[in-house]
Amino acid sequence: MLNQENVNANLSNINNQYLIKSKWKQGNFGPDITTLGPLAKTMKDEYPSLIANYYRFDPVGNIVSVGDKHFREDISIGDTTFISMYGFPLLYGNSQKPFINDQSAVVTEDLAIKFFGKTNVINNVITIQTPSDGGKHDFVISAVLKKMPYNTISNFAVSKTEYQVYLPMFNNQYFQGGDKGDNWSNIFVVGMLELQKGVTPKDLEKPFEQTLAKYQPTFVKGNLKAELAPIKNYYLQSGVQKMITALSLIASFILLLAIINFVNINIGTSSYRLKEIGLRKVFGSARMQLIIQFITEALLLTFIATIFSLIMYQLLLPVFNQLLHTTLEPFWQFNFSKILFLLSLVILVGFISGLYPAFVLSSSNIINSVKGKINSSRGGLVLRKSLLVIQFTLAIIVFICALNVSRQVALFFNKDLGYNKDQVMIISSIPRQYDSVGVMKMESIKSALLQMPQVKSAALSYDIPDNNGGGNVNIYTQNSSNFTSMIMFATDADFAKVYDIKMKEGVFLTHDNNKFIPGQVVLNETAVKVLGLNSAIGKTINIGAANGQLLTVVGVIKDFNYSSLQFSMQPLIIADIREPFTRSYRYFSLKLNTADISNSVNALENKWKTLFPDGGFEYVFMDDKFQSMYQAELQLKKAANIATALNLIIVFMGIFGVVAFTLVKRTKEIALRKVLGADSHNIILLFIKDYAILILIANIIAWPLAFIITNKWLENYTYRIEQTATPYLVVCAFVFIAAFALIAAQCFKVASDNPVKSLRTE
């Protein structure tokens, strides 16, 4: 099972492992999960008494080839310390020196099998395309990683998938500009530290301040504070904790409702055993013996229920795996801690379930018990009704919250995003050469794709609207030393056409007779506001520094949600991929011209293979990309819907049991009412009235609690629904109608029986 709380537990010295997080005073300056390239290494070099080891890496993706096999793989380019620092197990290779030189590579067991059909691939060669020169470089495999449980290091948040290839950062030819780990101006390197035993993150606060003051570049000064986040619980803190809390709360509600049902029904049904209890007391049984008997019976029933639940768990395992997007382990593989937790839960539930019936029934009067008078158990009536109110309250809260979650998820998928994602195919398996020659090659490929009848329009870009932008740049207005940090999109002039992005004014990166015009940029509406420009067209700005390259604003686009709707709109600048400060690309975005998607994909794949015979063909549709951004919300929606259904079933089962018991107790009363002239309608209304009050009280309690819970959850989103009375009224009406229908169905038979028969029985 992907035990969320134990992710990273298999890493060495996990209690001393930390990620360097960047806390930017200017919020959109850069990502918080990356930091300055040399920071981790410098901290180790200058404070060896505090820091035991360091690891830095830069995640990339590119085409890896072996013979005629070509696949785009996730690659981690970093320090050679990761195996010794985290204790990654090797199938083959030397763990003390996994990289034999700068041109060696460590690969995973999965990649070895994928490319070579075996795991022992030491000294075999893989070929990786390098965008720095557009060439292909061979790397000799020097070690093979054994399959590791899911962990933060090999599945870091930037990639969200497992890295298959590890390359050394030092002297690596992959990047332009040399080793990223030596560049203090690079703020996009993941840095991690292993602290010496006994050292705490607080001990690093002053050293971090001193190091940053000494080395940080001018554009960063005063804006960056380094903080340490423990790797041990990083997976939880990065967003999973909220999902676990929500699911745990839902599970607790369901379990509590089941316990309440057990108590209510147990009190009712056990009252039929009053004669037995009375006789046992007459023959000398002590009250404690009776209490132990009832609790033992409750524990036995709970253990039997546990057996059935484990069987159901195993049968429903595929359903839960799909719902939670994880891999739950079968119950026979539970470790000692899980078994101990399960046993503790069973004992606790059984004890709580049997506690009240045991004390109530064991305290009954001997004379009334021997006579078997059900009214002797009348003392539990108030408790049973109170428990029903709790059940209704919990079910109503979950129901209302589920409706609000559904409304919020619907907002994500129905909101006008400012762009059109329909029938947009993203091809990511592009050979990369990050220079003017490489961009020109891709432009010719784009022209070839546009000649296909299936392609309506196409764009080459480094960025797409998937919440995974290329980075930030500092923009200065003329005659000002103040800068604004903006998200940078590198695209060509057809990006707006493919995504149907609307212009507010000006044009989108024009070309004069297909000739590139340098120095043109496009801003979004938010960027114009932040820069304080009334009309941005024709205005000039500088990039990188007050005296940096001069750029002219030629267009302003309407704001579009290039990021997740969890975040507010940020200033955006769009520059041509042919600019000297961009010249990089990752994606072809193709707007398809047909509804026959399957045949279009086949045609594009065949065309791609003729254009790139030594490259793979990997694609995704923008709709799927968009959906993956809200995977957690979709999971929560499914879980909330299932929980609502289970809660309502349990509540109505409870009503059924309590009403059935109450009808038996009041058979004589019902018969007398009929003799005195009451009809079935009046008798049914009498019972409905009793439970209507309980449901009304439950709604009064549940509404404010549901409002608070929903509001707290919605605080995570910048774009969120407004709470209205509709979900509350819908839930209230549904619960009333369903409960009344169930009660009326049960009462009808008793109310229709011959009263003489009932009185004679009494």
Contact 388, 695 (CB under 8 A): no
pLDDT at 373 over 80: no
Return the domain boundaries, the chain. 4-232, 238-412+631-761, 429-617
Per-residue pLDDT tens digits for 107-116: 999 999 999 9
| Beta-strand pair 572-576/520-524 | antiparallel
Average pLDDT of span 216-245: 79
Cα 59 from Cα 378, distance rounded (Å): 69
Termini Cα distance of the chain: 58
Three-state DSSP class for 401?
helix
pLDDT at 392 over 50: yes
Please give the pLDDT value at position 144.
96
User: 363 pLDDT band (50/70/90 cuts)?
Assistant: low
How long is the chain? Answer: 762
pLDDT at 344 over 70: yes
Please give the pLDDT value at position 375.
46
615: nearest Cα among 380, 433, 344, 378: 433
Alpha-carbon dihedral sign for residues 651, 652, 657, 662? positive
Please give the pLDDT value at position 557.
94
Q: List Cβ neighbours of 740 (8 Å cut-off, separation of 6 or more).
A: 688, 691, 692
Other Cβ atoms closer than 10 A to 29:
20
Cα 527 from Cα 532, distance rounded (Å): 9
pLDDT at 629 over 90: no
Please give the pLDDT value at position 656.
76
Q: Which amino acid is at 416?
A: D
Three-state DSSP class for 184?
coil
Three-state DSSP class for 327?
coil
CA max distance for the chain: 108
Kindly state the DSSP code that residue 121 receives in the 8-state scheme. -
Contact 277, 372 (CB under 8 A): no
Please give the pLDDT value at position 376.
44
pLDDT at 761 over 60: no
Per-residue pLDDT tens digits for 550-591: 999 999 999 998 888 877 888 999 999 888 888 888 899 999
Q: Which amino acid is at 294?
A: F
Q: List Cβ neighbours of 581 (8 Å cut-off, separation of 6 or more).
A: 473, 543, 544, 549, 575
Residue whose structure tokens are 């049984």: 285
Contact 588, 495 (CB under 8 A): no
- Long-range contact set of residues 305-312: C-beta below 8 Å, sequence gap at least 24: 306/342, 306/346
Helix (H) or strand (E) holding 131: none
User: 377 pLDDT band (50/70/90 cuts)?
Assistant: very low
- Measure Cα distances from 284 to 322, 358, 446, 604, 690 in Å: 57, 17, 94, 88, 40
Cα 28 from Cα 485, distance rounded (Å): 6
Average pLDDT of span 733-754: 78
Cα 409 from Cα 415, distance rounded (Å): 10
Residues facing 193 on adjacent strands: 18, 54
473: nearest Cα among 548, 561, 423: 548
Q: List Cβ neighbours of 631 (8 Å cut-off, separation of 6 or more).
A: 325
Q: Which amino acid is at 630?
A: Y
Backbone angles phi, psi at 425, to 5 degrees: -95, 135
Rounded (10°) angle between helices 631-665 and 680-714: 150
Please give the pLDDT value at position 518.
87
Per-residue pLDDT tens digits for 147-197: 888 888 888 865 567 899 999 887 776 665 556 677 888 888 899 999 999
Other Cβ atoms closer than 10 A to 613:
9
Cα 485 from Cα 24, distance rounded (Å): 11
Cα 59 from Cα 82, distance rounded (Å): 14
Structure tokens at 2: 């992907």
Three-state DSSP class for 748?
helix
Backbone angles phi, psi at 618, to 5 degrees: -125, 135
- Nearest 10 degrees: CA dihedral of 670, 675, 676, 678? 60
Indicate the range of 435-449, 495-509, 720-734 predicted with least confidence. 435-449
Q: List Cβ neighbours of 451 (8 Å cut-off, separation of 6 or more).
A: none
pLDDT at 449 over 80: yes
Structure tokens at 578: 């042919």
- Measure Cα distances from 240 to 5, 377, 522 in Å: 9, 47, 36
Structure tokens at 448: 């070839």
- What radius of gyration do the chain's Cα atoms show? 34
Residue whose structure tokens are 């000064």: 221
User: 730 pLDDT band (50/70/90 cuts)?
Assistant: very high
Per-residue pLDDT tens digits for 454-464: 999 999 999 89
The reply to whether the predicted model has a pTM over 0.85 is: no
pLDDT at 439 over 90: no
Helix (H) or strand (E) holding 487: strand 483-491
Contact 54, 41 (CB under 8 A): yes
Alpha-carbon dihedral sign for residues 736, 742, 747, 753? positive
- What's the 3-state SS for 149-175? CCCCCCCCCCCCCCCCEEEECCCCCCC
Average pLDDT of span 402-428: 89
Which segments within 196-253 are labelled E, that is strand? 224-230
Mean pLDDT of the chain: 83
Cα 311 from Cα 313, distance rounded (Å): 5
Contact 53, 81 (CB under 8 A): yes
Three-state DSSP class for 637?
helix
Structure tokens at 464: 């797409």
The more confident residue out of 65 and 25 is 65
28: nearest Cα among 571, 573, 526, 581: 571
Per-residue pLDDT tens digits for 92-107: 999 889 999 888 999 9
User: 267 pLDDT band (50/70/90 cuts)?
Assistant: low
Cα 105 from Cα 107, distance rounded (Å): 6
Helix (H) or strand (E) holding 581: none
